[in-house]
Amino acid sequence: MSTSAREQYGQRTMSFLPFIPASAVLRWRRQRPTTPGRPFRPRLGLALVALLLVLAAGCPTARRGGDAGPNGTTGQRTVIRFWNGFTGPDGKTMEALVRQFQKENPDVAVEMQIIPWGTYYDKVTLALAYGGAPDLFVVHAARLPEFASFDTLQPLDSLYASSEPPVEADDFAPVPWKASFYQGRKLALPLDVHPIGLYYNTRLFEEAGIVGPDGKAAPPKTWEQFLEAAQKITKDTDGDGRTDQWGFVFTFQRTNYLTFLYQFGGSLVTPDGKRSAMDSPESLAAAQRMRDLIYKYKVAPKPEGVDAWLAFRQGKVGMALEGIYMLASLEEQKGLPYAGAPAPQFGPKRAVWGGSHLLCQPKGIAPRQSEAAWRLMRYLSDHSLTWAAGGQVPTRVSIRQSPAFARLTVPYQFGTQVDWVQYEPLTPRSNSLFQFADPAVEAVLLDLDTPENAMRDASRRINQLLSRP
Protein backbone atom coordinates (compact mmCIF):
# COMPACT_ATOMS: atom_id res chain seq x y z
CA MET A 1 0.00 0.00 0.00
CA SER A 2 1.37 3.38 -0.96
CA THR A 3 1.82 6.32 1.33
CA SER A 4 -0.63 8.40 -0.64
CA ALA A 5 -3.33 5.81 -0.17
CA ARG A 6 -2.61 5.87 3.52
CA GLU A 7 -3.02 9.63 3.58
CA GLN A 8 -6.37 9.21 1.95
CA TYR A 9 -7.54 6.97 4.73
CA GLY A 10 -6.49 9.71 7.07
CA GLN A 11 -9.19 11.93 5.62
CA ARG A 12 -11.75 9.54 7.01
CA THR A 13 -13.81 9.34 3.86
CA MET A 14 -15.74 6.11 4.07
CA SER A 15 -13.33 4.69 6.54
CA PHE A 16 -15.17 1.37 6.56
CA LEU A 17 -14.07 0.76 3.00
CA PRO A 18 -10.33 1.00 3.19
CA PHE A 19 -9.86 -0.58 -0.22
CA ILE A 20 -12.19 1.66 -2.23
CA PRO A 21 -11.60 5.33 -1.52
CA ALA A 22 -14.67 7.43 -2.22
CA SER A 23 -12.86 9.36 -4.90
CA ALA A 24 -12.28 6.18 -6.88
CA VAL A 25 -15.98 5.42 -6.92
CA LEU A 26 -16.79 8.93 -7.99
CA ARG A 27 -14.13 8.92 -10.66
CA TRP A 28 -15.53 5.67 -12.00
CA ARG A 29 -18.95 7.25 -12.10
CA ARG A 30 -17.71 10.26 -14.03
CA GLN A 31 -15.89 8.18 -16.58
CA ARG A 32 -18.92 6.14 -17.54
CA PRO A 33 -20.13 7.12 -21.00
CA THR A 34 -23.54 8.74 -20.81
CA THR A 35 -24.24 8.45 -24.49
CA PRO A 36 -27.89 7.94 -25.33
CA GLY A 37 -26.93 4.54 -26.67
CA ARG A 38 -26.49 3.06 -23.21
CA PRO A 39 -29.19 4.35 -21.00
CA PHE A 40 -29.12 1.54 -18.44
CA ARG A 41 -25.55 1.25 -17.37
CA PRO A 42 -25.14 4.78 -16.03
CA ARG A 43 -28.31 4.34 -14.09
CA LEU A 44 -26.93 1.13 -12.72
CA GLY A 45 -23.79 2.98 -11.77
CA LEU A 46 -25.84 5.72 -10.20
CA ALA A 47 -27.79 3.21 -8.16
CA LEU A 48 -24.55 1.61 -7.08
CA VAL A 49 -23.04 4.89 -6.00
CA ALA A 50 -26.25 5.87 -4.23
CA LEU A 51 -26.30 2.58 -2.39
CA LEU A 52 -22.67 2.91 -1.37
CA LEU A 53 -23.30 6.41 -0.15
CA VAL A 54 -26.27 5.25 1.87
CA LEU A 55 -24.12 2.53 3.35
CA ALA A 56 -21.36 5.00 4.06
CA ALA A 57 -23.74 7.39 5.73
CA GLY A 58 -25.14 4.63 7.87
CA CYS A 59 -21.72 3.55 9.06
CA PRO A 60 -20.19 5.16 12.07
CA THR A 61 -17.15 6.83 10.56
CA ALA A 62 -14.46 8.24 12.73
CA ARG A 63 -15.97 11.31 14.19
CA ARG A 64 -14.10 14.36 15.21
CA GLY A 65 -16.16 15.85 17.97
CA GLY A 66 -19.81 16.91 17.75
CA ASP A 67 -20.12 19.79 15.38
CA ALA A 68 -16.43 20.39 15.18
CA GLY A 69 -15.04 22.32 12.28
CA PRO A 70 -12.39 21.09 9.88
CA ASN A 71 -9.55 21.74 12.32
CA GLY A 72 -11.27 20.20 15.28
CA THR A 73 -12.50 23.53 16.54
CA THR A 74 -15.95 24.69 17.53
CA GLY A 75 -15.90 28.40 17.23
CA GLN A 76 -13.15 29.36 19.59
CA ARG A 77 -12.95 26.06 21.44
CA THR A 78 -10.30 23.55 20.54
CA VAL A 79 -11.66 20.03 20.66
CA ILE A 80 -9.21 17.37 21.78
CA ARG A 81 -9.97 13.70 22.00
CA PHE A 82 -8.46 11.74 24.89
CA TRP A 83 -8.42 7.95 24.98
CA ASN A 84 -7.58 5.78 27.96
CA GLY A 85 -8.55 2.47 29.52
CA PHE A 86 -9.48 3.56 33.01
CA THR A 87 -12.67 1.56 33.38
CA GLY A 88 -12.45 1.19 37.15
CA PRO A 89 -12.74 3.76 39.90
CA ASP A 90 -9.69 5.42 38.36
CA GLY A 91 -11.92 6.34 35.41
CA LYS A 92 -14.22 8.27 37.74
CA THR A 93 -11.23 10.13 39.12
CA MET A 94 -10.02 10.89 35.61
CA GLU A 95 -13.44 12.16 34.60
CA ALA A 96 -13.50 14.50 37.56
CA LEU A 97 -10.01 15.77 36.71
CA VAL A 98 -10.97 16.39 33.10
CA ARG A 99 -14.13 18.20 34.15
CA GLN A 100 -12.13 20.43 36.45
CA PHE A 101 -9.62 21.08 33.66
CA GLN A 102 -12.36 22.20 31.34
CA LYS A 103 -13.73 24.58 33.92
CA GLU A 104 -10.32 26.17 34.19
CA ASN A 105 -9.70 26.07 30.42
CA PRO A 106 -12.94 27.16 28.78
CA ASP A 107 -11.30 27.35 25.36
CA VAL A 108 -10.68 23.58 25.27
CA ALA A 109 -13.32 20.89 24.89
CA VAL A 110 -12.10 17.45 25.91
CA GLU A 111 -13.84 14.39 24.55
CA MET A 112 -12.70 11.51 26.69
CA GLN A 113 -13.30 7.96 25.62
CA ILE A 114 -12.68 5.12 28.05
CA ILE A 115 -11.97 1.83 26.31
CA PRO A 116 -11.37 -1.36 28.34
CA TRP A 117 -7.66 -2.24 28.36
CA GLY A 118 -8.47 -5.59 26.79
CA THR A 119 -9.31 -3.97 23.47
CA TYR A 120 -7.69 -0.60 24.04
CA TYR A 121 -4.47 -1.25 22.14
CA ASP A 122 -6.30 -2.81 19.19
CA LYS A 123 -8.23 0.37 18.81
CA VAL A 124 -5.27 2.69 19.32
CA THR A 125 -3.12 0.70 16.89
CA LEU A 126 -5.77 0.69 14.18
CA ALA A 127 -6.43 4.39 14.68
CA LEU A 128 -2.74 5.18 14.41
CA ALA A 129 -2.46 3.06 11.28
CA TYR A 130 -5.60 4.06 9.42
CA GLY A 131 -6.58 7.45 10.78
CA GLY A 132 -8.83 8.68 13.53
CA ALA A 133 -6.17 8.71 16.21
CA PRO A 134 -6.99 10.69 19.35
CA ASP A 135 -5.04 13.83 20.20
CA LEU A 136 -3.99 12.44 23.56
CA PHE A 137 -3.80 8.86 24.69
CA VAL A 138 -2.35 6.65 27.37
CA VAL A 139 0.43 4.18 26.58
CA HIS A 140 1.96 1.83 29.14
CA ALA A 141 5.69 2.27 29.60
CA ALA A 142 6.46 -1.16 28.15
CA ARG A 143 4.44 -0.45 25.00
CA LEU A 144 6.09 2.90 24.24
CA PRO A 145 9.10 1.44 22.34
CA GLU A 146 6.73 -0.52 20.11
CA PHE A 147 4.72 2.54 19.06
CA ALA A 148 7.84 4.69 18.92
CA SER A 149 9.68 2.21 16.69
CA PHE A 150 6.90 2.56 14.11
CA ASP A 151 7.23 6.34 14.34
CA THR A 152 3.65 6.92 15.45
CA LEU A 153 4.29 9.20 18.44
CA GLN A 154 4.81 12.95 18.39
CA PRO A 155 8.10 14.16 19.90
CA LEU A 156 7.34 16.45 22.79
CA ASP A 157 10.80 17.99 23.28
CA SER A 158 9.74 21.48 22.22
CA LEU A 159 6.59 21.40 24.36
CA TYR A 160 8.70 20.38 27.33
CA ALA A 161 11.19 23.14 26.56
CA SER A 162 8.59 25.89 26.24
CA SER A 163 6.33 24.80 29.09
CA GLU A 164 5.62 27.42 31.78
CA PRO A 165 6.30 26.80 34.61
CA PRO A 166 9.07 24.53 33.40
CA VAL A 167 8.84 20.78 33.85
CA GLU A 168 11.68 19.80 36.15
CA ALA A 169 13.18 16.40 35.45
CA ASP A 170 14.21 16.29 39.11
CA ASP A 171 10.58 16.31 40.13
CA PHE A 172 9.89 12.99 38.36
CA ALA A 173 10.75 9.53 39.57
CA PRO A 174 13.76 8.54 37.44
CA VAL A 175 12.38 5.19 36.27
CA PRO A 176 9.23 6.47 34.49
CA TRP A 177 11.11 9.59 33.40
CA LYS A 178 13.65 7.48 31.55
CA ALA A 179 10.92 5.26 30.12
CA SER A 180 9.27 8.19 28.37
CA PHE A 181 12.26 8.57 26.04
CA TYR A 182 12.92 6.50 22.96
CA GLN A 183 16.26 6.81 21.23
CA GLY A 184 16.89 10.13 22.91
CA ARG A 185 13.58 11.76 22.07
CA LYS A 186 10.98 12.67 24.68
CA LEU A 187 7.73 11.09 23.57
CA ALA A 188 5.54 11.11 26.67
CA LEU A 189 4.68 12.63 29.99
CA PRO A 190 4.66 9.97 32.71
CA LEU A 191 1.51 10.16 34.80
CA ASP A 192 2.01 7.48 37.43
CA VAL A 193 3.83 4.33 38.49
CA HIS A 194 1.99 1.25 39.59
CA PRO A 195 4.27 -1.34 41.14
CA ILE A 196 2.78 -4.46 42.61
CA GLY A 197 3.10 -4.85 46.34
CA LEU A 198 2.21 -7.19 49.14
CA TYR A 199 -1.38 -7.26 50.29
CA TYR A 200 -1.73 -9.14 53.54
CA ASN A 201 -4.62 -10.17 55.72
CA THR A 202 -3.95 -8.62 59.10
CA ARG A 203 -6.36 -10.88 60.96
CA LEU A 204 -4.69 -14.06 59.72
CA PHE A 205 -1.31 -12.55 60.62
CA GLU A 206 -2.43 -11.72 64.13
CA GLU A 207 -4.06 -15.13 64.60
CA ALA A 208 -0.80 -16.79 63.58
CA GLY A 209 1.15 -14.55 65.94
CA ILE A 210 3.12 -12.82 63.22
CA VAL A 211 3.16 -9.48 64.96
CA GLY A 212 5.62 -6.72 65.67
CA PRO A 213 6.48 -5.28 69.08
CA ASP A 214 3.36 -3.12 68.89
CA GLY A 215 1.17 -6.20 68.63
CA LYS A 216 0.13 -5.38 65.07
CA ALA A 217 0.55 -7.65 62.07
CA ALA A 218 4.12 -7.38 60.76
CA PRO A 219 4.53 -7.85 57.01
CA PRO A 220 7.56 -9.92 55.94
CA LYS A 221 10.53 -8.17 54.39
CA THR A 222 12.84 -11.05 53.51
CA TRP A 223 12.39 -14.46 51.92
CA GLU A 224 12.86 -16.20 55.29
CA GLN A 225 10.27 -14.03 57.01
CA PHE A 226 7.92 -14.49 54.07
CA LEU A 227 8.23 -18.26 54.10
CA GLU A 228 7.81 -18.45 57.87
CA ALA A 229 4.69 -16.31 57.77
CA ALA A 230 3.25 -18.33 54.90
CA GLN A 231 3.92 -21.60 56.72
CA LYS A 232 2.29 -20.34 59.90
CA ILE A 233 -0.84 -19.25 58.07
CA THR A 234 -1.27 -22.32 55.85
CA LYS A 235 -3.53 -24.84 57.53
CA ASP A 236 -6.52 -27.09 57.34
CA THR A 237 -9.22 -25.31 59.31
CA ASP A 238 -12.08 -27.82 59.07
CA GLY A 239 -10.06 -30.98 59.61
CA ASP A 240 -10.96 -32.77 56.36
CA GLY A 241 -7.31 -33.38 55.57
CA ARG A 242 -7.19 -30.71 52.93
CA THR A 243 -5.55 -27.32 53.24
CA ASP A 244 -8.14 -24.60 52.97
CA GLN A 245 -6.27 -21.59 54.30
CA TRP A 246 -3.17 -20.62 52.39
CA GLY A 247 -0.20 -18.48 53.21
CA PHE A 248 0.16 -17.12 49.68
CA VAL A 249 -1.46 -17.26 46.26
CA PHE A 250 -0.21 -16.50 42.78
CA THR A 251 -2.74 -14.13 41.30
CA PHE A 252 -1.37 -12.58 38.11
CA GLN A 253 1.44 -14.94 37.22
CA ARG A 254 3.17 -12.57 34.80
CA THR A 255 3.80 -9.76 37.29
CA ASN A 256 4.65 -12.22 40.04
CA TYR A 257 7.20 -14.00 37.86
CA LEU A 258 8.77 -10.74 36.69
CA THR A 259 9.18 -9.64 40.31
CA PHE A 260 10.88 -12.90 41.25
CA LEU A 261 12.95 -12.78 38.06
CA TYR A 262 14.16 -9.22 38.59
CA GLN A 263 14.97 -9.93 42.22
CA PHE A 264 17.20 -12.78 41.10
CA GLY A 265 18.89 -10.35 38.71
CA GLY A 266 17.42 -11.85 35.57
CA SER A 267 15.43 -10.46 32.69
CA LEU A 268 13.30 -11.77 29.85
CA VAL A 269 15.81 -10.70 27.22
CA THR A 270 19.51 -9.87 27.11
CA PRO A 271 20.39 -6.20 27.72
CA ASP A 272 20.64 -5.52 23.97
CA GLY A 273 17.12 -6.92 23.55
CA LYS A 274 18.29 -9.30 20.84
CA ARG A 275 18.08 -12.68 22.55
CA SER A 276 16.04 -14.44 25.21
CA ALA A 277 17.35 -14.63 28.75
CA MET A 278 14.55 -16.81 30.02
CA ASP A 279 16.79 -19.86 30.22
CA SER A 280 19.44 -18.02 32.25
CA PRO A 281 20.39 -19.41 35.68
CA GLU A 282 18.73 -16.39 37.29
CA SER A 283 15.47 -17.09 35.54
CA LEU A 284 15.60 -20.77 36.46
CA ALA A 285 16.31 -19.93 40.09
CA ALA A 286 13.35 -17.54 40.15
CA ALA A 287 11.02 -20.09 38.58
CA GLN A 288 12.25 -22.78 40.95
CA ARG A 289 11.59 -20.60 43.99
CA MET A 290 8.05 -19.86 42.80
CA ARG A 291 7.46 -23.51 42.12
CA ASP A 292 8.78 -24.45 45.58
CA LEU A 293 6.10 -22.35 47.24
CA ILE A 294 3.53 -24.71 45.77
CA TYR A 295 5.20 -28.10 45.64
CA LYS A 296 7.99 -28.02 48.23
CA TYR A 297 6.74 -25.80 51.03
CA LYS A 298 3.10 -26.25 50.07
CA VAL A 299 2.15 -22.78 51.25
CA ALA A 300 0.43 -21.77 48.01
CA PRO A 301 -2.31 -23.65 46.13
CA LYS A 302 -1.70 -25.03 42.67
CA PRO A 303 -3.10 -22.35 40.40
CA GLU A 304 -5.62 -24.77 39.00
CA GLY A 305 -9.06 -23.35 38.79
CA VAL A 306 -8.39 -21.31 41.89
CA ASP A 307 -9.81 -17.90 41.66
CA ALA A 308 -6.85 -16.69 43.63
CA TRP A 309 -7.88 -13.10 44.08
CA LEU A 310 -11.36 -14.13 45.14
CA ALA A 311 -9.80 -16.39 47.76
CA PHE A 312 -7.81 -13.46 49.13
CA ARG A 313 -10.92 -11.31 49.20
CA GLN A 314 -12.76 -14.04 51.08
CA GLY A 315 -10.09 -13.99 53.76
CA LYS A 316 -8.78 -17.49 53.06
CA VAL A 317 -5.31 -16.37 52.04
CA GLY A 318 -2.60 -14.59 54.02
CA MET A 319 -0.70 -12.80 51.27
CA ALA A 320 -0.84 -11.92 47.58
CA LEU A 321 1.33 -9.85 45.28
CA GLU A 322 -0.93 -7.57 43.34
CA GLY A 323 -1.11 -4.14 41.80
CA ILE A 324 -2.31 -0.97 43.42
CA TYR A 325 -5.15 -1.05 40.92
CA MET A 326 -6.71 -3.94 42.86
CA LEU A 327 -7.16 -1.77 45.93
CA ALA A 328 -10.68 -0.73 44.98
CA SER A 329 -11.89 -4.32 44.88
CA LEU A 330 -10.60 -4.82 48.45
CA GLU A 331 -12.23 -1.65 49.68
CA GLU A 332 -15.62 -2.88 48.58
CA GLN A 333 -15.09 -6.22 50.37
CA LYS A 334 -16.86 -5.85 53.70
CA GLY A 335 -15.09 -7.01 56.84
CA LEU A 336 -11.76 -7.87 55.22
CA PRO A 337 -8.90 -6.66 57.38
CA TYR A 338 -6.02 -6.02 55.01
CA ALA A 339 -2.99 -3.81 54.64
CA GLY A 340 -0.36 -3.10 52.02
CA ALA A 341 3.41 -3.32 52.19
CA PRO A 342 6.33 -3.25 49.78
CA ALA A 343 6.97 -6.59 48.07
CA PRO A 344 9.25 -8.83 50.18
CA GLN A 345 12.69 -9.60 48.86
CA PHE A 346 12.60 -13.16 47.57
CA GLY A 347 15.96 -13.02 45.82
CA PRO A 348 19.32 -11.32 46.22
CA LYS A 349 18.30 -8.03 44.56
CA ARG A 350 15.83 -5.34 45.45
CA ALA A 351 13.34 -5.04 42.60
CA VAL A 352 9.65 -5.14 41.86
CA TRP A 353 7.58 -5.23 38.72
CA GLY A 354 5.64 -2.09 37.91
CA GLY A 355 3.91 -0.32 35.10
CA SER A 356 3.41 3.32 34.20
CA HIS A 357 0.74 5.21 32.37
CA LEU A 358 2.40 7.58 29.92
CA LEU A 359 0.53 10.35 28.14
CA CYS A 360 1.32 10.54 24.43
CA GLN A 361 0.29 12.46 21.32
CA PRO A 362 0.05 10.98 17.81
CA LYS A 363 2.66 11.82 15.22
CA GLY A 364 1.68 14.73 12.98
CA ILE A 365 -0.92 16.19 15.34
CA ALA A 366 -2.03 19.75 14.44
CA PRO A 367 -0.15 22.40 16.50
CA ARG A 368 -3.32 23.78 18.00
CA GLN A 369 -4.48 20.34 19.18
CA SER A 370 -1.01 19.57 20.39
CA GLU A 371 -0.85 22.71 22.49
CA ALA A 372 -4.28 22.07 24.04
CA ALA A 373 -3.47 18.41 24.70
CA TRP A 374 -0.21 19.43 26.33
CA ARG A 375 -2.11 21.75 28.68
CA LEU A 376 -4.28 18.82 29.73
CA MET A 377 -1.20 16.62 30.18
CA ARG A 378 0.41 19.22 32.41
CA TYR A 379 -2.80 19.60 34.34
CA LEU A 380 -3.13 15.88 34.99
CA SER A 381 0.48 15.64 36.08
CA ASP A 382 0.21 18.68 38.38
CA HIS A 383 -2.93 17.25 39.96
CA SER A 384 -1.74 13.69 40.28
CA LEU A 385 -2.45 13.71 44.00
CA THR A 386 -6.13 13.56 43.05
CA TRP A 387 -5.16 10.85 40.59
CA ALA A 388 -3.42 8.93 43.39
CA ALA A 389 -6.67 8.84 45.31
CA GLY A 390 -7.98 6.73 42.42
CA GLY A 391 -5.32 4.13 43.26
CA GLN A 392 -2.14 5.12 41.41
CA VAL A 393 1.24 6.27 42.62
CA PRO A 394 2.17 9.69 41.22
CA THR A 395 5.48 10.09 39.43
CA ARG A 396 6.02 13.57 40.80
CA VAL A 397 8.44 13.47 43.72
CA SER A 398 6.93 16.57 45.33
CA ILE A 399 3.50 14.98 45.40
CA ARG A 400 4.73 11.62 46.58
CA GLN A 401 6.46 13.28 49.53
CA SER A 402 3.44 15.36 50.49
CA PRO A 403 1.68 14.54 53.78
CA ALA A 404 -1.59 14.23 51.86
CA PHE A 405 -0.18 11.28 49.90
CA ALA A 406 1.13 9.62 53.06
CA ARG A 407 -2.45 9.51 54.32
CA LEU A 408 -3.35 7.20 51.42
CA THR A 409 -1.89 4.26 53.31
CA VAL A 410 -1.69 1.47 50.71
CA PRO A 411 -0.62 3.66 47.75
CA TYR A 412 1.95 5.24 50.05
CA GLN A 413 3.35 1.85 51.07
CA PHE A 414 3.51 0.67 47.47
CA GLY A 415 4.92 4.04 46.46
CA THR A 416 8.03 3.53 48.57
CA GLN A 417 9.21 1.04 45.94
CA VAL A 418 9.15 3.49 43.05
CA ASP A 419 12.90 3.79 42.70
CA TRP A 420 13.51 0.09 42.11
CA VAL A 421 10.53 -0.55 39.88
CA GLN A 422 11.35 -2.51 36.73
CA TYR A 423 9.08 -2.64 33.71
CA GLU A 424 8.77 -5.38 31.16
CA PRO A 425 11.74 -5.18 28.76
CA LEU A 426 11.66 -1.78 27.08
CA THR A 427 12.11 -3.09 23.53
CA PRO A 428 9.82 -2.80 20.50
CA ARG A 429 8.86 -6.48 20.70
CA SER A 430 8.24 -6.47 24.45
CA ASN A 431 4.55 -7.23 24.22
CA SER A 432 5.12 -10.15 21.87
CA LEU A 433 7.45 -11.88 24.33
CA PHE A 434 4.57 -12.77 26.60
CA GLN A 435 2.85 -15.04 24.11
CA PHE A 436 5.75 -17.39 24.97
CA ALA A 437 6.74 -16.27 28.47
CA ASP A 438 3.28 -16.56 30.01
CA PRO A 439 2.61 -20.18 29.00
CA ALA A 440 6.09 -21.18 30.23
CA VAL A 441 5.49 -19.71 33.68
CA GLU A 442 2.06 -21.30 33.79
CA ALA A 443 3.52 -24.69 32.84
CA VAL A 444 6.03 -24.42 35.69
CA LEU A 445 3.43 -23.44 38.27
CA LEU A 446 1.00 -26.13 37.12
CA ASP A 447 3.84 -28.66 37.14
CA LEU A 448 3.19 -29.52 33.50
CA ASP A 449 6.89 -29.21 32.79
CA THR A 450 10.19 -28.76 34.61
CA PRO A 451 11.47 -25.18 34.85
CA GLU A 452 14.41 -26.14 32.62
CA ASN A 453 12.25 -27.50 29.81
CA ALA A 454 9.59 -24.83 29.99
CA MET A 455 12.12 -22.00 29.98
CA ARG A 456 14.20 -23.56 27.23
CA ASP A 457 11.11 -23.95 25.07
CA ALA A 458 10.08 -20.35 25.66
CA SER A 459 13.63 -19.18 24.93
CA ARG A 460 13.74 -21.01 21.64
CA ARG A 461 10.50 -19.37 20.54
CA ILE A 462 11.55 -15.93 21.73
CA ASN A 463 14.87 -16.20 19.89
CA GLN A 464 12.97 -17.23 16.79
CA LEU A 465 10.71 -14.20 17.17
CA LEU A 466 13.56 -11.77 17.78
CA SER A 467 15.53 -13.05 14.80
CA ARG A 468 12.66 -12.16 12.47
CA PRO A 469 13.32 -8.96 10.54
What residues make contact with another protein under the rule CB under 8 A? 1, 3, 6, 17, 19-20, 36-37, 39-40, 44, 47-48, 51-52, 55, 122, 125-126, 128-129, 147, 150-152, 303-307, 311, 431-432, 434-435, 438-439, 442-443, 446, 448, 469
- Label residue 263 left, alpha or beta by phi (over 0 means left) and psi (-120 to 50 means alpha): alpha
Question: Is 382 or 438 the residue whose CB approaches another protein more closely?
Answer: 438
Q: Shortest gap between Cβ of 162 and another protein (angstroms)?
A: 29
Q: Shortest gap between Cβ of 273 and another protein (angstroms)?
A: 17
User: 336 with 119: CB under 8 angstroms?
Assistant: no
Question: Is 26 or 448 the residue whose CB approaches another protein more closely?
Answer: 448
Measured in degrees and rounded to the nearest 5, phi and psi for residue 377 equal: -60, -50
Radius of gyration of the chain (CA): 26
User: One-letter amino acid identity for 51?
Assistant: L
Reduce the DSSP state of residue 336 to 3 states and report it: coil
Q: Shortest gap between Cβ of 79 and another protein (angstroms)?
A: 25
Q: Shortest gap between Cβ of 305 and another protein (angstroms)?
A: 3
From the CB of residue 33, how many other CB atoms can be counted at a distance below 10 Å? Answer: 8
Q: Shortest gap between Cβ of 458 and another protein (angstroms)?
A: 11
Q: Shortest gap between Cβ of 318 and another protein (angstroms)?
A: 17
Nearest in space to 226 (alpha carbons), one of 302, 300, 283: 300
Reduce the DSSP state of residue 33 to 3 states and report it: coil
Question: Is 103 or 468 the residue whose CB approaches another protein more closely?
Answer: 468
Question: Is 306 or 397 the residue whose CB approaches another protein more closely?
Answer: 306
Nearest in space to 173 (alpha carbons), one of 395, 389, 408: 395
Q: 192-201 and 352-355 as β-strands: parallel, antiparallel, unpaired?
A: antiparallel
Question: Is 191 or 433 the residue whose CB approaches another protein more closely?
Answer: 433
Question: Is 168 or 236 the residue whose CB approaches another protein more closely?
Answer: 236
Q: Shortest gap between Cβ of 467 and another protein (angstroms)?
A: 12
Question: Is 153 or 193 the residue whose CB approaches another protein more closely?
Answer: 153
User: One-letter amino acid identity for 39?
Assistant: P
How far is residue 460's CA from residue 279's CA, in Å, rounded to a whole number? 9
User: One-letter amino acid identity for 317?
Assistant: V
Nearest in space to 458 (alpha carbons), one of 266, 309, 237, 216: 266
